[in-house]
Amino acid sequence: MPLPATPSPAHRRHRAAPSAAPPSPRQHIAPLDGLRGLAVLGVLFFHAGHFAGGFLGVDLFFVLSGFLITGLLLKEARARDGRIDLLAFWGRRARRLLPALAVMLAGTLLLVWALGPPILLRYALEDGPWVAGNLANWHFVADRVGYWDSADTRVFSHLWSIAVEEQFYVVWPLVLCLAARGRERAAGRRVATVAAAGAVVSLVLMIVLTTPADTTRVYEGTDTRAFSLLLGALAATPPVTRLMSGVGERAAGRWSLVLAAGIGAYWLVADGQDSPSLFRGGLFLHALAAALLIAFLARAPRTPAGRFLAAAPLHRLGLVSYSLYLWHWPVYLLLSEERLGLEGAPRTAVLLAALVALAWLSKVLVEDPVRFRAPWAKGRTGAIALVAVFAALAALWTAVPQPRTGEGSVDVTRLVPASG
């Protein structure tokens, strides 16, 4: 779960905060774009078979999303005497996430129909409605679609993480509407307490529900992955930002380097299903370290770690990380070694070039126009447009024929390594 970019426009210039306090999460914090870029690179190389610990990029995306969304909602609550306009928030999230998702779903289905093996089409038709309903993770859990399989036939299997985030975007604002009411200081403490308590409960659920045979249930379950989002949310609450305001910029810079090095080392040694400690607290500690890193970067974005992450290559990757994540697994499955006649690093280079092109086109032609230059996408007309898009997707799913019986028998071991 790559994933959504910082809610402020990409062209907004970074503004340094006064030394007495950290920047508000509502400001554009340039290093966080680079952190997103690193996260999506980890996922891309993991699924290309080059980096066993790269799946932890999804966890980093979760923490970033929790931090950014909570900062936005708390800022609104402070400005509106504890009130949050839920419809406006959900409308902004829909404009940010759904256009690119809808285009990817339709485009992928048509490409699989035209170019893919029948088994890919069969599962694409089966899984697509669950993706559109933001319930893909629970669908895969119920279907026992193992996350760590050696081969994959589900072209939308990576979208479990998008479903987790979307479910968070529905539930967490409702919680904040209750917890953020009243005097600002007390409200901030309540939100921090709820986030911390929810993260601990989520960790306990992961530990209790983990089974050695298959960790897909705890890896993809919203309840057992919520701690990553909630630890990010905790880092955006007033008690934590006040605590960070007392940390000097040099100290924040040193801690940023230490945490980044620790996270990087963990990525190098983590090995998925073969690292059972991940599900006994390892993922929680990784998310906690990521939340602290984000808090320190927000406090002091111009430190060495912040400048590295804000550098142009990572920054630009971060700005298109959501689309890169959406398209990467369908592209990996469709551009197989057999189809390209390439393997290893040459194939990966072709895949990355195709993904960057697709992500840029998505941003320029779909995402930015809807977010920034489409008045019709807001309010009642936006709701009508959303219904029309999903009706068109439903019609497309109905129009594409199911593969004939017997066509689903393919050698799945010749597909690319497992998705997530």
Q: What is the tens place of the pLDDT at every residue in 97-153? A: 999 999 999 999 999 999 989 999 999 999 999 999 999 999 999 988 777 664 578
Question: What is the DSSP code string of 287-355?
Answer: HHHHHHHHHHHHH-TTSHHHHHHTSHHHHHHHHTHHHHHHHHHHHHHHS-HHHHT--HHHHHHHHHHHH
Per-residue pLDDT in tens (0 to 9) along the chain, 420 residues = 554 444 443 333 333 333 334 444 446 788 999 999 999 999 999 999 899 899 999 999 999 999 999 999 999 988 888 889 999 999 999 999 999 999 999 999 999 999 989 999 999 999 999 999 999 999 999 988 777 664 578 999 999 999 999 999 999 999 999 998 888 888 899 999 999 999 999 999 999 999 877 788 999 999 999 999 999 999 999 999 999 999 999 999 999 999 999 999 999 998 877 777 899 999 999 999 999 999 999 999 999 999 999 999 999 999 999 999 999 999 999 998 889 888 899 999 999 999 999 999 999 999 999 988 888 888 888 889 889 999 999 999 999 998 875 544 444 434 444 445
Are 85 and 176 contacting, i.e. CB atoms less than 8 angstroms apart? no
Are 54 and 44 contacting, i.e. CB atoms less than 8 angstroms apart? yes
Are 37 and 316 contacting, i.e. CB atoms less than 8 angstroms apart? yes
Give the gyration radius of the chain's Cα atoms.
21
Nearest to 147 by CA among 411, 394, 420, 330: 420
Q: H or E element: which one contains 399? A: helix 379-399
Q: Give the span between the Cα atoms of 417 and 63, in whole angstroms.
A: 26
Are 76 and 84 contacting, i.e. CB atoms less than 8 angstroms apart? yes
Domain spans, the chain:
30-414
Q: Give the span between the Cα atoms of 157 and 176, in whole angstroms.
A: 31
Using CB atoms within 10 Å of the CB of residue 212, give its burial: 0 to 12 exposed, 13 to 18 middle, 19+ buried: exposed
Nearest to 176 by CA among 162, 190, 163: 190
The pTM of this model reads 0.88
Give pLDDT tens digits for 179-220. 988 888 888 999 999 999 999 999 999 999 998 777 889 999
